[in-house]
């Protein structure tokens, strides 16, 4: 089964209204492969979601960077999945390592968020990944398996989940997992899905790579058989994001 290439741009906590409009204007003019070759999602901070959604080209979609774990209410500072639905935001990023590490979001908390967002009809980019310490101690595969297992225990239908493997040591550091390192973990994640969620889920679920992806390294990474796209951080705010989107054609030509 062919998996459509997926490129997400995580803008993180960056931008002013003017800067955001400039990025959208640039993206709207970009020549990129068609929607049947690549699915593109950009994820601005909450406050810019409406303006980005209103101005962005129709073949690109918008994601929130987080949402609350259950229905809204007395949860000061949180944004509920229902609010995202109300704004017609189709995607959300959940379990990003910055939230796991800085805000201490546990595997269980993240998986509850994933299940709740899906229950409200929002598609999820679910992030997993290991720290440098975990990689050096040889526990990479155990860590990402445990993070994935927590999600699998709460979710039966994977159709609206994209799994993002983001080695924490490679995020914003300029260090990139080599194509072989990325492929190894992606292949193991797919094997884990095969053994625990079934052959169909394993074959159809997109597993994307995040961690200092840029215009220079994206084609070699995209050529790996189990790398189905990218979750891009800093480079998604720059013109090279378009080059990363174009790397989808590597798959088409294989």
Integer Cα distance of 46 and 23 in angstroms: 16
Catalytic annotation, pick one of 96, 130, 186, 188: 96
Catalytic annotation, pick one of 39, 130, 166, 188: 166
Q: Is 98 a catalytic residue?
A: no
* Angle between helix 140-152 and 179-196 (nearest 10): 40
Displacement of CA 150 from its chain's centroid (Å): 17
**CB of 155 closer than 8 Å to CB of 114:** yes
Q: Which of 220, 172, 131, 132 is nearest to 12 (CA)?
A: 172
Residue 159 main-chain phi, psi, to 5 deg: -60, -30
Extract the runs of DSSP E, i.e. beta strands, from the chain. Answer: 5-10, 38-43, 60-64, 91-94, 123-128, 161-165, 207-209, 229-232
How far CA 226 is from CA of 96, 238, 241, in Å, comes to 20, 26, 21
Q: Is 166 a catalytic residue?
A: yes
User: Which residue do the tokens 């720059």 mark?
Assistant: 238
Give residues with Cβ within 8 angstroms of 6, minimum separation 6: 38, 39, 41, 162, 206, 208, 228, 229, 230
Both structure tokens of 96: 């990003």
Catalytically annotated residues: 96, 166
């Amino acid at each position: 089964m062919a998996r459509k290439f997926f490129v997400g741009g995580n803008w993180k906590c960056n931008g002013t209204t003017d800067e955001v409009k400039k990025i959208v204007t640039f993206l709207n003019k970009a020549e990129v492969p068609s929607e049947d070759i690549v699915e593109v999602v950009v994820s601005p901070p909450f406050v810019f979601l409406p303006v980005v959604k209103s101005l962005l080209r129709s073949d690109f979609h918008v994601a929130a960077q987080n949402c609350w774990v259950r229905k809204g209410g007395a949860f000061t500072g949180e944004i509920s999945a229902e609010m995202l639905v109300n704004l017609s935001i189709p995607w959300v990023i959940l379990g990003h390592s910055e939230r796991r590490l800085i805000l201490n979001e546990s595997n269980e908390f993240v998986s509850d968020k994933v299940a709740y967002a899906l229950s409200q009809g929002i598609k999820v980019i679910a992030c997993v990944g290991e720290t440098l310490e975990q990689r050096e101690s040889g526990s990479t595969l155990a860590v990402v398996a445990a993070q994935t297992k927590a999600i699998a225990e709460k979710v039966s239908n994977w159709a609206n989940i994209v799994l993002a493997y983001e080695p924490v040591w490679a995020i914003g550091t300029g260090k990139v997992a080599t194509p072989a390192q990325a492929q190894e973990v992606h292949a193991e994640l797919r094997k884990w899905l095969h053994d625990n969620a079934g052959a169909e889920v394993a074959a159809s679920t997109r597993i994307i790579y995040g961690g200092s992806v840029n215009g220079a390294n994206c084609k070699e990474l995209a050529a790996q058989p189990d790398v189905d796209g990218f979750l891009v951080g800093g480079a998604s705010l720059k013109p090279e994001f378009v080059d990363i989107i174009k790397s989808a054609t590597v798959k088409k030509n294989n």
